[in-house]
Amino acid sequence: MLKPEFSLVSLGCARSLVDSEKMVQDLQKIGFKLVAEGTGEKITLLNTCSFISAAVAETEDNIRHLVARKEAGELKYVVVTGCYPSRYKKEELQERFPDVDLWLTTREEDRIKQELSQLVFRKKYMPSKPVRYTKLTPSHYAYLKISEGCDNWCSFCTIPKIRGVHTSKPLDVVIAEAKLQLSFGVTELILIAEDTTCWGEDLYGKPSLPILLDALADLPVKWIRVMYVFPPRVNDELIQVLKSRPNICRYLDMPIQHVNSDLLLSMNRRYTNEYLRDCLNSLKAAMPDMVLRTSLILGFPGETEAHVEELLSFMEEFPFTQLGCFAYSEEKETRSARLEAKVEMPEIQSRIKRVMDAQYKIVQRTSAALVGTAVEVLYEGDGLARSFREAPDVDGRILLEAADNLIVGHYYQAVITGVKGYDLEARLVAS
Ligand code: SF4
C-alpha cells in the first residue's frame, strides 16, 4: 500500500508560504506525512505563484520537472495548488499538463484533505487527529496572514483576479493564530496580506489595521512587523499605534511603485507625488527612527526619461533604507496591457540598473551613519543576525563577529562596526 508521505515545493512569496503551511497541517491531521523531496515519497504538492510571466515560467518549469519524475516512476501523484491554477482555466491546464493529478485554486485549498484522500486512497478523508504543528519558517519568527485577496485593482496587477476580493480574518482568529505561534517560541510576528492596511474594512466598515495592531501588541511578543502597506491608507491612527506600542517595529514595508503622479494615476494607485511626500514626512516627523522599505516598478507604459529622473531625485530627498526594483511585466488580463508607449526590456533593465546604483550609494551613505551605534539583534545562525531594521528574506543582514556560541532565535546587544554592500557588520557587546 502507498505510504501517505508527501513532499512540498512552495514557490513565491511569504503569503504563499503561509498557505503551504496551512495545507501541510491539514494533510498531517489526516495521516499524511511531510518528508523531504526525493526521499522515496510518491506524492508531491507544488504550491505555485503566477502573478507575473516570470513566476508563471518558473511554475511551469517545476511542473515539467515533477511530471518527468512521475514518468520515471519516482512519483505517483502530482498536485498543483495556488496562484497558477487560479489564474488559468482548469480545462486548459488539464490539456497542457495531463499528468498533473489534482489542481486546486487558492479558493479550493481548504479541500485538500478531501481531494487528496479521494485521489490516493479512493475514500473520504479520515477524521482529523491532533498532530504536531509543522512550521515552514524558522522557530523564532512567523508570518501572520491577516486577510486574503485585494480590491485595489492596480492596473498592472493580476492578484485581484487570482486571489479574489479582499476578506479579512476576524480579530479573534488572528489573535488565536498569533498565540499558537507564540506557544512555539516565536518572538517576531510578521503581518502579511495583499494589502495589510485594508484589514477590517469588511468587518468594521472601514480599514482598521490599528485595532488589530493594538490587540496584537498586548500579547507577549517582542517584535511585530508590518509588511505590504498601501500608501493611501497610512493615516494618523496608524501612525499613532506604530508610535505608541514599543513592540511594533519602527519599520514599514510600503510599496510605492513610482513617484510620478501621472504614472501613479495610470497605475490606479490612488495617490500622487504630493501625497507620498506628505505621507513620508508625517511618518518621519512622528518617528525619526522609522525604517522604510519599498518596491518600485520600472518601465510602466508611458514612463519617460524625465519620470526616471523624478524618481531618482525623490530617492535622494526621501531615502528608503531598503528598496527593491521590478521590471514592468505585461500581463494580458490587466488594464495596463492595453496602454501604449511601451518601454522595451533593454531600456527597462538599464533604468533598473540606474535606480539600483543610486540606491546602493544611498545605502552606503545612510548605513555609514549607523557605525558606532548600539543595536539589539536577533541571531539567525551562521554568523547572521537582524535588527528591527531588517525583515527576513528580503532585506540586508547583520554580519556578526565572533558568533560561535550564540543561540539561534536569541536576542543580543551589539554595536555596528562597518558596512559591507547592503549588509551591516557588528560585534557583540557584553550584556
Ligand atoms: S495593492 Fe495593487 S499591486 Fe498589491 S495586490 Fe492589490 S492590486 Fe495588486
Where on the phi/psi map is residue 299: left (φ > 0), alpha (ψ -120 to 50), or beta?
left
Q: Does residue 41's CB lie within 6 angstroms of at least one atom of ligand 1?
A: no
CA-wise closest residue to 77 among 12, 21, 3, 134: 3
Angle at 25 between CA 85 and CA 96, to 5 degrees: 20
For residue 103, list its beta bridge partners.
80
Ligand 1 touching residue 230 (CB < 6 A): yes
Strand partners, 322: 293
- Atom of ligand 1 minimally distant from the CA of 160: 7
Task: Dig out the grid coordinates for 94 from the structure.
Answer: 488539464
Helix axis angle, 273-286 to 236-244, nearest 10°: 30
CA of 268 to the centre of ligand 1 (A): 10
pLDDT given at position 124: 64
Residue 150 in contact with ligand 1 by CB distance below 6 A:
yes
pLDDT value at position 39?
92
> Amino acid identity, residue 335?
R
Which residue, among 95, 46, 36, 88, has the nearest Cα to 70 in the 3D structure? 46
Q: Which residue has the cell 539589539?
A: 376
Residue 258 Cα distances to 53, 228, 234, angstroms: 21, 15, 17
**Cα 338 to ligand 1 centre (Å):** 18
262, 321, 348, 383, 417 from 362: Cα distances, Å: 26, 8, 21, 25, 18
Contact between 247 and 224 under an 8 Å Cβ cutoff? The reply is: yes
Q: Residue 404: what pLDDT?
A: 86
Could you give the CA distance from residue 389 to residue 182 in angstroms, rounded to a whole number?
21
83 Cα–ligand 1 center, Å = 14
Per-residue pLDDT, 431: 61
Determine the atom of ligand 1 nearest the C-alpha atom of 194. 5
Asked whether 297 lines ligand 1 (CB < 6 A), one says no
CA–CA distance, 163 with 153 (Å, rounded to integer): 12
Q: Among the residues of 102-167, which ranges form H helices?
A: 112-121, 159-163
Give me 349's grid cell.
533593465
* Whole-number pLDDT of residue 351: 98
Ligand 1 in reach of 153 Cβ (< 6 A): yes
**Ligand 1 center to residue 182 CA distance, Å?**
29
Ordered by where they begin, the domains of the chain are 5-121 (3.40.50.12160), 141-368 (3.80.30.20), 374-428 (2.40.50.140)
Predicted pLDDT at 132: 81
Q: Closest ligand 1 atom, CA of 150?
A: 6
What φ, ψ does residue 256 adopt, rounded to 5°? -100, -20
Q: Are 191 and 146 in contact (CB under 8 A)?
A: yes
344 — phi, psi (to 5°)? -70, 150
Which three-class secondary structure string do you get for 398-411? EEECCCCCCCCCCE
Interval between CA 157 and ligand 1 midpoint (Å): 6
Q: How far is CA 389 from CA 90, 115, 201, 293, in A?
A: 42, 42, 29, 9
Task: Please give the distance of CA 289 from its chain centroid, rounded to a whole number.
Answer: 23
Query: Measured between alpha carbons, how far is 187 from 224 in angstroms, rounded to an integer?
Result: 9
Three-class SS state of 122: coil
**Is 231 buried (19+), middle (13-18) or exposed (0-12) by CB count in 10 A?**
buried
The answer to whether the CB of 148 is under 6 A from ligand 1 is no
pLDDT at 430: 74
- What's the CA-to-centroid distance between 73 and ligand 1, angstroms? 41
Determine whether the shortest distance from the Cβ of 194 to ligand 1 is under 6 A: yes
256 lines ligand 1 (CB under 6 A): no
pLDDT at residue 135 in the model:
86
CA-228 nearest atom, ligand 1: 4
Distance from Cα 363 to the centre of ligand 1, integer Å: 27
* Ligand 1 neighbour 331 (Cβ under 6 A): no
List the residue whose alpha carbon is closest to atom 4 of ligand 1. 194
For residue 163, give the ligand 1 atom closest to its CA. 5
**Residue carrying C-alpha cell 551613505:** 365
pLDDT value of residue 318: 97
Q: Which three cell numbers stand for residue 123?
A: 475514500
> Which ligand 1 atom sits closest to the C-alpha of 157?
8
C-alpha of residue 281 to centroid of ligand 1, in Å: 24
CA of 228 from ligand 1 middle (Å) equals 9
Pocket test for ligand 1, best of 163, 195, 300 (most atoms within 8 A of CB): 195
Distance 102 CA to ligand 1 centre (A): 28
For 379, phi then psi, to 5°, come to -80, 130
Q: How far apart are CA 280 and CA 80, in angstroms?
A: 41
Q: Cα(373)–Cα(130) distance, rounded to whole angstroms?
A: 47
* Tally of CA atoms within 13 A in the half-sphere of 429 that contains its CB: 12
Q: Is the full-model pTM beyond 0.95?
A: no
159 touches ligand 1 (CB under 6 Å): yes
Query: Given this model, what pLDDT does residue 217 score?
Result: 98
CA 253 to ligand 1 center in whole angstroms: 14
Segments of the chain scoring below 70 in pLDDT: 1, 123-127, 431
With CA atoms as reference, report the closest residue to 163 among 49, 262, 272. Answer: 49
Q: How many CB atoms lie within 10 A of CB 420?
A: 12
Largest CA distance in the chain: 66
CA of 165 to the centre of ligand 1 (A): 11
